[in-house]
Structure 1
Amino acid sequence: MAEQRQIRFGILGCATVARNLARAISLAPNATISAVGGSTAEKATAFAAENECPATAKIYGGYDAVLDDPDVDAVYIALPTSLHVRWAVLAAQKKKHVLVEKPAALNVAELDRILAACEASGVQYMDATPWMHHPRTAKMKEFFSDPLRLGQLKSVHCNVSFSLNIHPGEKPDVDAVGALGDAGWHSISAILLTTDYDLPESVTAFPDPEVNEAGVILSCGASLKWQDGRVATFYCSSVADMAMDIFAYGIAGKLRVHDFVIPFAEQSAPFYTLESYRFIEHGVKADFPQDVLMVIEFCNLAGSGSAPEKKWAVISRKTQLVVDAVMASIQKGFETIKVVY
């Protein structure tokens, strides 16, 4: 068997969210950290030391130098959302594969610029949503797709909240999407998973979202509707207690899961279904934690030598479109917004 190629990562940004990915890259057999770029060299040095980056990892007080480093194959972008489009486009133009934190962009127009740059340069794109790469997610998707187990999907409800105090002081010029782009990204992508990424016809935001003094969203919700009568609702928050729930109901069965974003146990994750009037617990084991599995899959695609896999770009874009529709509904006094791909 041919030796597995290692993808050499440059990390852009030393925020807390980057710590998990630094660990994941270190644990993935086909990845290594080659460079760390911070807003200052001091921050990058401290990040590399605190996260046990390889001694060979280069330290840069800036991001351009990471993109210019010939020993970097791919970048993980952990910068504020407002900076994603600039650095992801530049990374793609420098022929670096792009793994970008969610939300991928402030809006779909920015995301389209990122995707166009990646396509033009022939580099792999993926947003960093680890739960999408857990084998449990594939097993749940099998259930949603089986007409004998779930039947026609009728309704979905999703709650995602993290009381992490991560948006109360946020400013619109840094991350205007707030909790909607974070917890809401998970909620919307979970709903779309249940529909095999069939976009809703319309979105209506719930009145009175919670915002900070600068107007950045701390919590909100919305309803989604499809032409065939399917409905979904979600609530997302960065100030409520932890919740990571999906409830999906069909005419033949239902599914529930209570830890879909971050499994309570790293290598074993259950979900529950009602099928033929029987409650069934499905335990799904994983060889690695889900963020490691995400890195492994990204590196397999980036190092395959084949054309980039476009599935992840399509999923990102559909998720971003619904995020944009919810934001538009809020800004327009909770009007119903049509979703157009």
Structure 2
Amino acid sequence: MTDKTVRFGILGCAVKYASKFVRTVTLLSPNAVILAVGDPSLETAKNFAVSNGLSPETVAVYGSYEEVLDDERIDAVYLPLPVTLRGRWAVAAGGEKKHMVVEKPPAIDAAELESLLEACESNGVQFMDGAIWLHHQRTARIEEMVFNSELLGDVRHIYSTMTTPVPEQALERLSKDAMGSAGAIGELGWYPIGAVLWAMAHELPTFVMALPSSVVTNSSGAILACSASLHYAPTATATVHCSFLSHLSTELAITGSKGSIWVNDYVIPYEEDKASFEYTTGAQFVDMHVGWNVKPEKVTVECGEMSQEVMMLTEFVRLVGGIKSGVSKADRRWPEISRKTQLVIDAVKKSVDVGCKVVYL
């Protein structure tokens, strides 16, 4: 094991994301290794280690989160905990100088996120949230090919969704205690709101407004679905939608002054080893409006074993390696992206709370 290797601990073993992270580290990353897993239930931690092929000879299994953070061998931690626990334990991890990847949303609101990021910055550790799609080669290709060219022009409107169905009998069990007060806006809205910010070069909107007829709650007040409008002065707008009530959809459509982009699977591609998007530029209706003068062009990006999970881990390991060797400091770009995403989520939630009125940022 070389000095370039990043040694991970996992806080929380009861969610599927943790198994996905183990797969990425153990099968696909040569410069990362898992040395510890921890859960308040030692039995859960043991079962997790066994089911994910983690050898007890090389991986410590702990019955608490504290023991993982106290393990001096650990460079970084992965936190797939429920959102209501993430902020607290991320702050604790920062205090122990552990670099971290935190699932999204990483905190219940912007105030808690600021405390988390301050703990990271003051201790010189790298923070990154788990929005893996930002690391995909397709995302980079769109930026390179469309955003930095004459194909799209100025962004005029963005439409983005993240919906996934929850069984009807389980909807009433969704609670603020588990998801935080933002409910679906935080759990699912992190993606479409993040996609809008990405398309707008991470510029904050001037104001947001939740759409009144779109807000659905269960009997405990947990938000199950919501749409919102985001406005950028002077000409750009966006519509985002998140829901636990609809069929799976992860759509992103960007319309510019000269062209348009469509991505139907931006959160998780249809296939792990490749992904595509479509675009048109200079489109017009033909005479008598019986068709278009151009058809969408499809661009396919082959990634092989370098999935978006691997790309994110590779970037994180690179950043942590630079800090460990003293060559560089923590990259503030990733915390800033998370900060802006959380600010917009909080603004949409505030709009819901005040009767779907305009909230300025």
Gaps of 5+ in 1: none
Cα distance change, pair 239–335 in 1 and its aligned pair in 2 (3 A): same
The 5-angstrom pairing of residues 178-327 of structure 1 reads 178-208=183-213, 209-277=215-283, 278=294, 279-286=296-303, 287-305=305-323, 306-327=328-349
**Count of paired positions:** 338
3-state secondary structure, aligned to 1:235: strand
Cα distance change, pair 6–289 in 1 and its aligned pair in 2 (3 A): same
- TM-score normalised by structure 2 residue count: 0.90
In 2, Cα distance between the equivalents of 1:48 and 1:79?
Answer: 17
The 5-angstrom pairing of residues 76-225 of structure 1 reads 76-165=78-167, 168-176=172-180, 177-208=182-213, 209-225=215-231
- Correspondence for 1:36: 37
In 1, Cα distance between the equivalents of 2:151 and 2:332?
Answer: 29
Alignment-mate amino acid for residue 86 of structure 1: R
Cα distance change, pair 168–58 in 1 and its aligned pair in 2 (3 A): farther
- Post-superposition, which runs of at least 4 consecutive aligned residues in structure 1 deviate over 3 A? 164-168
Summarize deviations over 1:246-284 as a string: whole Å, max 9, x none: 011011000001000000110100000002344211111
- Correspondence for 2:8: 9
Tell me which moved more, 96-105 or 278-287.
278-287
Q: CA deviation at 1:141?
A: 2.1
In 2, Cα distance between the equivalents of 1:164 and 1:291?
Answer: 24
CA contact (8 A) 1:246 1:258 kept: yes
In 2, Cα distance between the equivalents of 1:260 and 1:221?
Answer: 18
3-state secondary structure, aligned to 2:141: helix
Q: CA deviation at 1:174?
A: 2.6
- TM-score normalised by structure 1 residue count: 0.95
Q: CA deviation at 1:17?
A: 2.2
Cα distance change, pair 105–167 in 1 and its aligned pair in 2 (3 A): farther
In 1, Cα distance between the equivalents of 2:344 and 2:74?
Answer: 33
Tell me which moved more, 18-27 or 184-193.
18-27
Give the greater-gyration-radius structure (CA). 2
3-state secondary structure, aligned to 2:43: helix
- Correspondence for 1:71: 73
Q: CA deviation at 1:16?
A: 2.1
Q: CA deviation at 1:224?
A: 0.3
Q: CA deviation at 1:238?
A: 2.1
* Percent of pairs with identical residues: 39
Q: CA deviation at 1:310?
A: 0.6
Cα distance change, pair 19–164 in 1 and its aligned pair in 2 (3 A): farther
